Structure 1
Amino acid sequence: MKQRDLFELLLLAALWGASFLFMRLGAADFGPLALAALRVAIAAAVLLPLLLWRGEWAAMHRHWKPIALVGIVNSALPFLAYAYAALSINAGLASIFNATSPLWAALIAWAWLGDRLTPPRVLGLAIGFVGVIWLAWDKASFKPGAEAVGFAVLACLGATLMYGLGASMSKKWLAGVPPMATATGSQLAAAVLLLPLGLGAWPAQPAPPLAWGAVIALGVLSTGLAYLLYFRLIAHVGPANAIAVTFLIPLFAVLWGGLFLGERLTLTMLGGGALILLGTSLATGFWRPGARQSPR
């Protein structure tokens, strides 16, 4: 991996880690629907001029159907789920659940695309989902007065399932499509779906400047710029290397949450997160015990 690609990987992890902070700052004032709608609308407004400047409108138009479907599955639905979860659980915990995305991706790729599951990958899936169960068992509660936390955990896991499905859809239908076309088209499709819903659920009270700043940063930095970086990395270093961002996002999310929201990293979050990241590294083939590394 070149230095430029490594820098973009770290920047992407920092931006996606910050998305959990921005959602925590904006969810209560805007509500999940309006927040998710603004996020994709702002991202689309940022990316569309760049797409036109690069002359890739034709590529997006040519593949608009699969791009739109990926946009709904990989952006609209998970963004809405995470905006809902941000009302009840902190940024660090949500980001740790987000790290299960490659586990779902590996499982769906095996079931749908016929990807081979080697013994280490099966072990990784098992370890990763043990970590999920550990975290969910500790945090999820459906007792009266605490059921919001339980549903928030389910929302996070539903979002990561959508991310896993979106990865296989992109691999099957969008291979070779320019990254800018995929990034822009997916956010446009998500905006078309969510904007009417978001306007219908617009908050009665005006949101404060801090919430507006958070949602603008969420749309411009953690969505528009982040998705462009993500699809660039896939094109430059391949999906297997780009998925390494998953291991870094929780580190940045916990850092931002601790610095700006005073959130604490508990032992349960640390233990469950470690199992999830260990399982993910095995399930994706990012870590292969006993494999010899070729000299660089």
Structure 2
Amino acid sequence: MNWLNRWELYAFGSAFFAGLTAILGKLGVAGVNSNLATFIRTLVIIAVTAVILFIRDEWRKPESIPASTWLFLTLSGIATGLSWLCYYRALQLGPVTKVAPIDKLSVVFAILLGVLFLGEHLTWQLAVGGSLIVLGSLVMVLF
């Protein structure tokens, strides 16, 4: 695994499963309200994550987790929930081939927010790559 670092493997896994999520989500919201679909999805995620934590013996006492971690994970959870609610509603109303490219603009938002709030450096490669993502999304959605 010399050519592929561990974080890269997980990043590719994330991209693959996000793509699969779009297809399965589109099929799933066909017969149910998008908010209920998001709730069901969330319950499944909780169950799967709990099983993984149990198998790997990674449970921690809540009081051992720093307050700042609780704050940021709570805010992240709110952002994730809002993202999922919007995503599932968009899938219910529109074609996956148009919804998914717009959703992937999250990469551009992550780059911008990383630069603004985390002090990450905006390199020319990031600027060009982000611009290409925006351009590609526009081409896929508008034409």
Give the shorter-chain TM-score range: 0.7 to 0.9
Partner of residue 109 from structure 2, selected from 243, 252, 274: 252
Give the distance between the partners of 2:65 and 2:118, measured in 1 at CA.
19
| Counterpart position of 1:191 | 46
CA contact (8 A) 2:25 2:88 kept: no
- Following superposition, the deviation at residue 260 of structure 1 comes to 2.5
**Is 234-243 or 265-274 further displaced after alignment?**
234-243
Deviations, residues 226-245 of structure 1 (Å, cap 9, x unaligned):
21122223334554553323
Q: State yes or no: 1:157 paired with 2:15.
A: no
CA contact (8 A) 2:35 2:88 kept: yes
- When residues 280 and 234 of structure 1 are mapped into structure 2, their CA distance, relative to the original with a 3 A threshold, is same
| Counterpart position of 1:224 | 81
- Following superposition, the deviation at residue 191 of structure 1 comes to 0.6
Q: State yes or no: 1:206 paired with 2:68.
A: no
Give the distance between the partners of 1:196 and 1:179, measured in 2 at CA.
26
Report the TM-score, using the length of structure 2 for normalisation: 0.76
Alignment of 1:1-296 (within 5 A): 142=2, 150-198=5-53, 200-202=57-59, 206-219=64-77, 221-243=78-100, 244-247=102-105, 249-282=106-139, 285-288=140-143
- When residues 222 and 182 of structure 1 are mapped into structure 2, their CA distance, relative to the original with a 3 A threshold, is same
When the two structures are aligned, how many residues end up with a matched partner?
Answer: 139
Deviations, residues 195-232 of structure 1 (Å, cap 9, x unaligned):
1333521358922211111111112x222222112222
- When residues 274 and 259 of structure 1 are mapped into structure 2, their CA distance, relative to the original with a 3 A threshold, is closer
Give the distance between the partners of 2:91 and 2:26, measured in 1 at CA.
11
- When residues 252 and 272 of structure 1 are mapped into structure 2, their CA distance, relative to the original with a 3 A threshold, is closer
- Following superposition, the deviation at residue 168 of structure 1 comes to 1.8
Larger Rg: 1 or 2? 1
Give the distance between the partners of 1:281 and 1:160, measured in 2 at CA.
20
2:65 counterpart SS class: coil
- When residues 287 and 157 of structure 1 are mapped into structure 2, their CA distance, relative to the original with a 3 A threshold, is farther
Identical positions, percent? 27
Deviations, residues 117-157 of structure 1 (Å, cap 9, x unaligned):
xxxxxxxxxxxxxxxxxxxxxxxx948xxx7xx22122112
Give the distance between the partners of 1:277 and 1:155, measured in 2 at CA.
24
- When residues 163 and 275 of structure 1 are mapped into structure 2, their CA distance, relative to the original with a 3 A threshold, is same
Name the amino acid aligned to 2:46.
A
Report the TM-score, using the length of structure 1 for normalisation: 0.41
Deviations, residues 74-120 of structure 1 (Å, cap 9, x unaligned):
xxxxxxxxxxxxxxxxxxxxxxxxxxxxxxxxxxxxxxxxxxxxxxx
- Following superposition, the deviation at residue 193 of structure 1 comes to 1.1
CA contact (8 A) 2:38 2:88 kept: yes
Give the distance between the partners of 2:8 and 2:130, measured in 1 at CA.
14
